[in-house]
A = this chain, B = another copy of it.
Amino acid sequence: MPIPACDLTLSRLGRRATAPSITALMRTALETPGLLSLAAGFTDNASLPVTAVAEALRGLAARAPDLGFLQYGTNAGRPGLRVRIAERLLRHDGRTEEAGDSVARAAWAERVFMTNGSQQALYLAMQTLCDPGDIVLVDRPTYFVFLDLLAGLGIEARSLPVDAAGRIDAAAVRRLLSAMRADGSRDRLKAVYFVGWFSNPSGRTLGADEGRALAAALRAEDCMVPVIEDAAYREMGYAEGAAVVRAGVLSEPAWDGFPRLHAGTLTKPFATGLKIGFGVCDHDAWRAAMLHVKGHQDFGSGNFAQALLEEAIAGGAYDAQLAILRLVYREKRDALHGALLAGGLSARGWRWALPEGGLYLWLEGPAGLDTGGSGEFCRACLREGVLYVPGELCHGDAPPRHTVRLSFGVLNQEGLAEAGARFCRAAAGF
């Protein structure tokens, strides 16, 4: 007798979700012996703060004899850590007086919730704002895992128009919104998203005037939808105080009246294995909805990792680590940049800006080049033994074919020099 077939049909979401685009790149990396990856978004291993983590554990054990730091935490996260985050944010936003005031700090801490990396904050934001078919405006280029996330939820990404220098073009934003109103798609627009500092992938930091012009354009078009500012790299500027360059959306008056979410991470600039991010949201009903969904997803992020971070921030180890990382990543940037120059890439028509923070170089190749994952250029790079992220993955729509993201997070200086040289050798044939 035949066994009856199993009775499983995936949900609409289950059918829509496909492998994150990075998965294919990771598989290629694993399957190619000797490959040097300039694609991986991982961080520097050698500088990981094992001593600081061990000291934080000793500190917790000594000062919290009830061992509560190894116990479940709450859904929103550790109250003390949320206050620390509030304090840092106020300082980064230039509000030093409030940062020193416990009442102001407490008021901000109420808006903070801890997540499994900043990515969970982005996912919760999209789950609670968008139904399938809705639209989100994204910067151009933008964080490609966010695009995967949108696709998985059935949300359409559209690029914020930019000028030739890559700045958001506020007049073009107004025209876009106007056209969306005309074609009926404006009603489906539910949020605006951008990476605020040292962007993945472009390395750009949104200018204060640029942000204000975007807010003004949205306001003028009567389109005060929620704004999501991704601050994953904010603390990874190479110059001390680089995080302060621009106030975030929560402190910028141009965004007053918009529902705002500022999403950040404590672990990209410390120890990524701890995987703790946060959201700060000033719209009560939206934040409550995100917390309810988080309650269903996991009812709280790892309390132990949060406790270690709280201890490391309080004791100064966190800022000491930031000071180290500033030097480490600046040197790594220089190593890759130097290798590309030495390899003659500029002379072949490639262009890139030197970022002042973060982990990435964003390259524009010669017009007409196709850097896509199944193209000739990509194969030439693999033959030379180097991997990159095709820039086309980083666009909500109308992707250009000739851009590339190179990460200098993982490889050491020697590896970066060699990987850069390989990239240039591959590029020489195009």
A207 at the interface (CB under 8 A from B): no
Interface assignment of A38: CB less than 8 Å from any CB of chain B: no
Contacts of A42 in B (CB 8 A): 71-72
Interface 0/1 of A37-54, CB less than 8 Å to B:
000011101101110011
Distance of A224 Cα from B75 Cα, bound (Å): 35
Q: Min CB distance, A333 to chain B, in Å?
A: 19
Assess whether A315 is interfacial by the CB under 8 Å rule.
no
> Which residue of B is nearest A275, CB measured?
B302
Contact partners of A10 in chain B: CB under 8 A: 128-129, 285-286, 289
Which of A283, A288, A297 counts the most chain B CB atoms within 10 A? A297
Q: Return chain B residues, CB-CB under 8 Å to A258.
A: 6
Contacts of A233 in B (CB 8 A): none
Q: Mark A194-233, 1 if CB is under 8 A from B, else 0.
A: 0000000000000000000000000100111110000000
Q: Decide if A43 touches B72 in the complex (CB within 8 Å).
A: yes
Contacting A292 at CB < 8 Å: which of B70, B123, B152?
B152
Cβ 8 A contact of A70, one of B3, B49, B293: B49
A224 touches B6 (CB 8 A): yes
Q: Is the CB of B127 within 8 A of A11?
A: yes
**Any chain B CB within 8 A of the CB of A23?**
yes
Tell which of A80-88, A303-311, A323-331 binds the partner: A303-311
The 8 A CB mask of A78-120 against B (1 = contact, 0 = none) is: 0000000000000000000000000000000000000111011
Task: State whether the Cβ of A264 lies closer than 8 Å to any Cβ in chain B.
Answer: no
* B residues near A182, Cβ cutoff 8 Å: none
A303 touches B275 (CB 8 A): yes
Q: CA of A55 to CA of B115 in the docked complex: distance in angstroms?
A: 27
Bound CA–CA A349/B128 (angstroms): 46
- Determine if A296 is an interface residue (Cβ-Cβ < 8 Å): yes
Contacting pair B304 A8 (CB below 8 A): no
Please, which residue of chain B has its CB at the minimum distance from the CB of A189?
B7
A120-B298, A293-B14 known; A71+B46 contact, CB < 8 A: no
Note all chain B residues with C-beta closer than 8 A to A127.
11, 13-14
Residue A15, interface by CB 8 Å: yes
A355 in the interface, Cβ–Cβ < 8 Å? no
With A and B bound together, what is the CA distance between A66 and B5 in angstroms?
Answer: 48
- Is there an interface contact between B225 and A116, defined as CB atoms closer than 8 Å? no
> What is the minimal beta-carbon distance from A304 to any residue of chain B, in angstroms?
4
A interface residues (Cβ-Cβ under 8 A, vs B): 3-15, 17-20, 23, 26, 41-43, 45-46, 48-50, 53-54, 57-58, 61, 66-75, 115-117, 119-120, 123, 127-131, 134, 145, 148-149, 152-153, 190, 219, 222-226, 256-259, 271-276, 283, 285-286, 288-290, 292-293, 295-305, 307
